Amino acid sequence: MGAADLFPLGAATTLAELAGDPYPRLALLRTHEPVSWLPELDGWLVTRRDLALSVMRDAATFTVDDPRFSTAQVVGPSMLSLDGDQHTRHREAFAAPFRPREVHNGFASFIERETDRLITALEPVGVGELRRAFAGPLAVAVVTQALGLVDTPAATVLSWYDSIVRSVSDITAGHEAGPAGIAAYRHLRAAVEATVADQSHSSLLVSAARRLALPEVASNAAVLMFGGIETTEGMITNALLQLLRHPDQLALVRADLALLDGAIEESLRLEPGAAVVDRYATRDTVLGPAAIRRGDLVSVSLTGANRDPAVFRDPDRFDVRRENARLQLAFAHGAHYCLAAHLARLETRIALQRLLELLPALRLDPDRPTTAHGLVFRKPSTLHALWDGAA
């Protein structure tokens, strides 16, 4: 029997469907084929939460370290593409500023300043597209600050990022990477070297360079940039969209801002910025109903796991008071758990709180509806909102 006979739902699943509204299909897969072979993906898709955890916990069997991994093809090996001792060595060199207390002490006032600066510019107009005019610029500013590159403004970081993303997407789509991404990465590497050479400067990169070789520092800097811009822009935009779409839940949060943390977890659960994480089997193994072969791609659907009714009652409902929302897996799990999850949460919390405080009657523009989409990175293309501005 072929895989299509064993996994008929997987055989009928298209990537276009997963990139659009994937939730009805993911629910079917989770119930009937919780590990399914998707011919269009040329790999397995894991949609049940317990099985998703099994994969992410077992890096010896399900590794990220594979030549097919597109990011590593552009920026070289980094913590994101290594496992075992090498992974630990790379990750530990960057870990210190991302611990909870360090994040608070190191970033809170910077994020507050940037957030207020962006909102002050928007406020008088009374309307705006908050993904590109707010969430995106804030994400870029925070990553630029975290990297601490000397003489490198946020706009430059953004242009490098755009070029590297394009190259990674080319490779993911099966094409050769264009030259712009390689050139951008060369510029980033030169900026990393200049930062490390500047002895008057103390930064994350300088301390990482005490433990890693310079090319290794540069690869991880690119991963921080890569990991920190797209996903955080999505995290802020998605959380805002969820809140504005559910006026009853928004009213609860406005009445008690302590509920904002629950709203953010609930948004991460329902629409995680990164929908899947990819692993490669290092040996033949059995996972749920699937006989996985060495070398197979095993894609873990964080979106699928996050709506598993075995853990989350009434899983499609946005409920800012849900008690176990923190069991969501938007930041993955295990060795590769997002290095900057505390920072991303702090950033989103400050961003949303200040928007609610400073833009009275913030609401969606009813004439410009929007919804999240994307196969890997999920967010709406635009988020047009209205508020009562001074102009």
Cα 35 from Cα 300, distance rounded (Å): 9
Q: How far is the CB of 342 from ligand HEM (least distance, A)?
A: 9
Nearer to ligand HEM among residue 158 and residue 339 (C-beta): 339
Helices assigned H by DSSP within 271-382? 302-305, 341-358
Cα 334 from Cα 11, distance rounded (Å): 30
Q: How far is the CB of 317 from ligand HEM (least distance, A)?
A: 20
- Tokens 């801002």 belong to which residue? 257
Q: Hey, which bits of the chain come out as E strands?
A: 35-38, 43-46, 62-63, 127-129, 276-281, 285-287, 290-292, 297-301, 363-364, 384-386
Nearer to ligand HEM among residue 246 and residue 333 (C-beta): 333
Q: How far is the CB of 126 from ligand HEM (least distance, A)?
A: 29
Nearer to ligand HEM among residue 10 and residue 272 (C-beta): 272
Q: CA angle 227-232-238, nearest 5°?
A: 135
Nearer to ligand HEM among residue 80 and residue 177 (C-beta): 80
What is the chain's alpha carbon radius of gyration, rounded to the nearest angstrom?
21
Q: Binding residues for ligand HEM, per CB under 6 A?
A: 64, 79-80, 91, 142-143, 223-224, 227-228, 231-232, 235, 268, 272-274, 277, 330-332, 336, 338-340, 343-344
Q: How far is the CB of 56 from ligand HEM (least distance, A)?
A: 7
Q: Are 183 and 170 in contact (CB under 8 A)?
A: no
Q: Are 114 and 141 in contact (CB under 8 A)?
A: yes
Q: How far is the CB of 367 from ligand HEM (least distance, A)?
A: 29
Q: How far is the CB of 128 from ligand HEM (least distance, A)?
A: 22
Percent composition of the chain: helix, strand, coil (DSSP 3-state, to 5): 60, 10, 30
Q: What is the dihedral of CA 232, 238, 241, 247, to 10 degrees?
A: -110
Q: How far is the CB of 152 from ligand HEM (least distance, A)?
A: 16
CA distances from 93 to 73, 220, 228, 331, 387 (A): 22, 10, 17, 20, 44
Nearer to ligand HEM among residue 246 and residue 336 (C-beta): 336
Nearer to ligand HEM among residue 106 and residue 389 (C-beta): 106
Nearer to ligand HEM among residue 28 and residue 332 (C-beta): 332
